[in-house]
Amino acid sequence: MNSSPPTTQRRNVWLRDTLSRSRRDAVSSSVMTGICDNYLGAFAISLRASLAQMGWLMAAPQLAGALFQLLSVWLCPRFSRRRAIVTGVVLQALAVLGMALIAFVRPANAVTWLIVLAVLYQASANFVQPQWRSWMGSVVPPRRRGAFFAGRTRLTMITSFAVFAGGGALLGLFQRFELAWLCFGALFLLAAAGRGASAHQLRRMHDPDHSNVPGAISFTATLHRVRDAFRDKTFYQYSLFIAGMQSAVAISAPFFSVYMLRDLNYSYWQFSANTGIAILTQFFTLSVWGRICDRWGNRWVMVSSSLLLPVVPALWLVSSDFGYLLAVQVLSGLAWGGFTLSTANYLYDLRPPRSDFASYAAVQSSLGAVGIFCGALFGGYLAGHLSALAAWLPESWQPLHPVVLIFLVSGLLRGIILAWFIPRSVELRVRQRPDLLQVVYRISRFTPGAGIVLDWLTVTRKRRD
């Protein structure tokens, strides 16, 4: 029976309002991510964090994020979805507000408190993510999903990058007057306000499935699905490759900021320019990589872009010239653009038929987070033993800044992991998606370590005869 005109009209009203508020949420939340995801490491350095603490700053939040994403998948279907999302967003805003207080007050053990708040920040973000995907998938009409998420992505990227660039300019200005701490505090206050506004918009949005989500699976059933997935040799090897590569990258990721800001004495403007050019390169080449994936296959792009990943950190040892490192970052953005897109495509084609792509993506994301945790801890351990590491090198090869040896170790491990995976990788047949399933890619955020981070929604469109 068709819906009556008043019912249809009411639905159109709440749909327009919800989509409008979702766009405002995109802008508000992007203010936070543009600041926190890119300047957290720089803030820790301004607090005189040790190299080991920099490793923990990356490791602990990643592990917490992985655990809370799985907790969200298992727990939230039994509660109100909107309430769970708003609660997680409010906790994230409070974590960022705490970071602002650290900047203003400079308490004892400030770096330790920053790590604790970073754990809360990342755990809240990952707790919200699976529920947000489910919510948007049920709200946005199939015929409008492509246009809606394309527009939302543009708002996200423009806002994030504008805040990121503006933050770098302000930090550079305040640094001249030795007031960088004041600018950090103001930036984190702005980020907290942005996330608070995001919580308000989310609370006012309509959730058509506000009650318990049907089809929730038990913890034991989820573990059985994961076990069955890893019986597939190709999926098992691919998962180890991705987790291993992310772990190798995490070894060096926290220390590029240290190298630029502490060893090379970069201004915050130079630091922002170095990070920003990699992000822009990745953003503008993403569509090109997509066409190459369609023409030559995801395996070809995944392998070819992966070959550049061990080279990039090694290039940082060649020269410390600002212009040279900008060119290195362009190469880095090019490599990460192809790697990020092709591995996401590969995972979709790899999953078993009639399986839940979101569950496989969550498992892959969590496994990668565990790899990042282990890699960052190992990087912190290496940072504490740089003198012993340098002693293995001939005197003529001793670097001016020993921290670059961590980049070399990261590059070598990336090469070893790649050498193991390439002979085992196979070109998968592009999946003929059942029920005309599509994967709508969106850029969720960008970070200095990994550049642009893709997210996705699995959606369905009606079959046309």
User: For residue 106, what are the contacts with CB-CB under 8 A and spacing of at least 6?
Assistant: 47, 181
Phi, psi of 140 (to 5 degrees): -75, 125
Q: What percent of the chain has pLDDT over 90?
A: 40
Q: What is the pLDDT of residues 153-195, one digit of tens each?
A: 778 888 888 999 999 999 999 998 889 999 999 999 999 999 9
- Kindly state whether residue 463 falls inside one of the protein's structural domains: yes
Place of tokens 């300019």: 169
Query: Are both 53 and 139 inside the same structural domain?
Result: yes
Report DSSP state, residue 263: I
- Same-domain pairing of 351 and 412: yes
| 459/461 Cα distance (integer angstroms) | 7
Residues 313 and 401 placed together within one structural domain of the fold: yes
* Residue 443 belongs to some domain of the structure: yes
Highest mean pLDDT out of 47-51, 82-86, 447-451 = 47-51
Q: From CA 278, how far away is CA 286, in angstroms rounded?
A: 12
Looking at the structure, tell me whether residues 28 and 172 fall in a common domain: yes
At 254, which CATH number?
1.20.1250.20
Reading the block at residue 390, the tokens are 């340098």
Per-residue confidence (pLDDT) for residue 374, from 0 to 100? 92
Place of tokens 């973000």: 125
389 shares a domain with 265: yes
Number of separate domains in the chain: 2
The answer to whether residue 121 sits within a structural domain is yes
Full-model pTM: 0.84
Residues 154 and 295 in one domain: no
- Residue 390 predicted with pLDDT over 70: yes
Q: What is the mean pLDDT of residues 51-57?
A: 91
* pLDDT at residue 413 in the model: 95
Q: Which residue has the tokens 């591995």?
A: 343
Same domain, 377 and 455: yes
pLDDT surpassing 50 at residue 462: no
Owning domain of residue 414: 229-465
Which is more confidently placed, 173 or 147?
Answer: 173
240 and 198 both lie in a single domain: no
Residue 153, in any domain of the structure: yes
Give the model's confidence band at 215: pLDDT under 50 very low, under 70 low, under 90 confident, else very high: very low
Q: Is the pLDDT of residue 455 over 90?
A: no
Domain boundary at 205, 220, 238, which?
205
234-285: pLDDT as tens digits = 778 888 898 899 999 999 988 999 999 999 999 999 999 998 898 888 878 8
| Residue 341: band (very low, low, confident or very high) from pLDDT cuts 50, 70, 90 | confident
User: For residue 323, is it within any domain?
Assistant: yes
Residue 302 lies in a domain: yes
Select from 26, 128, 119 the least CA-distant residue to 73.
128
The verdict on 254 and 355 lying in the same domain is yes
The 10s digit of each residue's pLDDT in 305-318 is 999 999 999 999 99
Report how many helices (DSSP H) and strands (DSSP E) the chain contains, helices first. Answer: 15, 2
Residue 242 CA to residue 119 CA, distance in Å, equals 23
In 338-377, the DSSP E strands lie at none
Within 8 A by CB and 6+ apart from 418, the residues are 245, 306, 307, 309, 310
Per-residue pLDDT at 49 exceeds 90: yes
| Same-domain pairing of 175 and 324 | no
Judge whether 3 lies within some domain.
no
233 lies in the same domain as 84: no
Output 427 or 117, whichever has higher pLDDT. 117
pLDDT at 217: 52
The secondary structure of the chain in percent helix, strand, coil, rounded to multiples of 5, reads 75, 5, 20
Torsion of CA 402, 403, 408, 410, to 10 degrees: 150
Q: Can you give the pLDDT at residue 323?
A: 95
Q: Is the pLDDT of residue 130 over 60?
A: yes
The answer on pLDDT for 398 being more than 50 is: yes
Residue 152: inside a domain, yes or no?
yes
In this structure, what DSSP letter does residue 261 have?
I
| Angle subtended by helix axes 5-46 and 145-176, to nearest 10 | 30
Query: What pLDDT, in 10s, does the model give residues 3-17?
Result: 455 666 676 778 888
Q: Say yes or no: 389 and 286 in one domain.
A: yes
